[in-house]
Amino acid sequence: MKLTLKDNTELFYKDWGAGRAVLFSHGWPLNSDAWDLQMIHLAERGYRVVAHDRRGHGRSSQPWDGNDMDRYADDLAELIEYLDLRDAVLVGHSTGGGEVARYIGRHGTHRVRKAVLVAAVPPLMLKTAANPLGLPLAVFDDIRHAVLANRSQYFKDLAMPFYGFNRDGASVSQGTIDAFWYAGMQCSIKSAYDCIKAFSETDFTDDLEKMTIPTLVLQGDADQIVPLEDSGSLSVKRLPNGVLKVYPGAPHGMCTTHAEMVNADLLAFLKD
């Protein structure tokens, strides 16, 4: 299904099941398929699950403009209002976690009951004087260069640390690597490039402090993409009603590699 947004961008979304709504926001450079294991699990257990492909990603259209966190959050608001979701639970992975935080920061919690941040980018990925544990700008410049130089090869290479497949003793899934590459290549090069700045340089500190609803933070201590010490560990200190659960040995792509654990924790959190 597709929603035509106010700027005429077409936003692809899935809407499965019935019951309390759980809305999922995916990470870069993926799309809503990244949530399939969570969506089928919850839909089979009495929940309505919704997930969209962010503008420029997946099956959504590829506009030149609007590839920034404010616009992503406003797109999410349009989708929530169009579907008239109320008392919903918002779940965001990586960049999607930033999208969820910025949505609440800009649009409030009147339609939201709870939130879940999974290996999410808040409060700020970039190293600054106020954020000394962040990653240097050169790290993100290198990603930009790789996307422009040969994004196909870059996405194949990125899948290895994303899922922890580069660790000693890891069980490597070629199918998972291929799926990551395929999703990445569906993203427009302009959106992929612009989104790097959006997920790395956006400061979500104020947004986190506005998340007064119960918020579950899930992250692995082996995350090589968004380091735990500069994300989940700091976010929970800013959240008025947040709880952090750390998965020993879990990588950034934990919704795939540790799907059973993530599914169980989501279900338990939803039932509270």
d(CA 242, CA 225): 22
d(CA 116, CA 157): 28
Transcribe 8-63 into DSSP letters: S-EEEEEEESSSSEEEEEPPTT--GGGGHHHHHHHHTTT-EEEEEPPTTSTTS---
**Residue type for 133, please?**
L
Sheet holding 88-93, edge to edge: 2-4, 10-16, 48-52, 21-25, 88-93, 112-118, 215-220, 242-247
Catalytic residue of the set 94, 188, 200, 235: 94
32 is annotated as an active-site residue: no
- As given in the structure block, the two tokens for residue 180 are 């990551």
Q: For 226-253, b where at least 16 C-beta lie within 10 A, e where not — what string?
A: bbbebbbbbbbebbeebebeebeebbbb
Catalytic residue of the set 33, 74, 223, 230: 223
252 is annotated as an active-site residue: yes
Catalytic residue numbers read 94, 223, 252
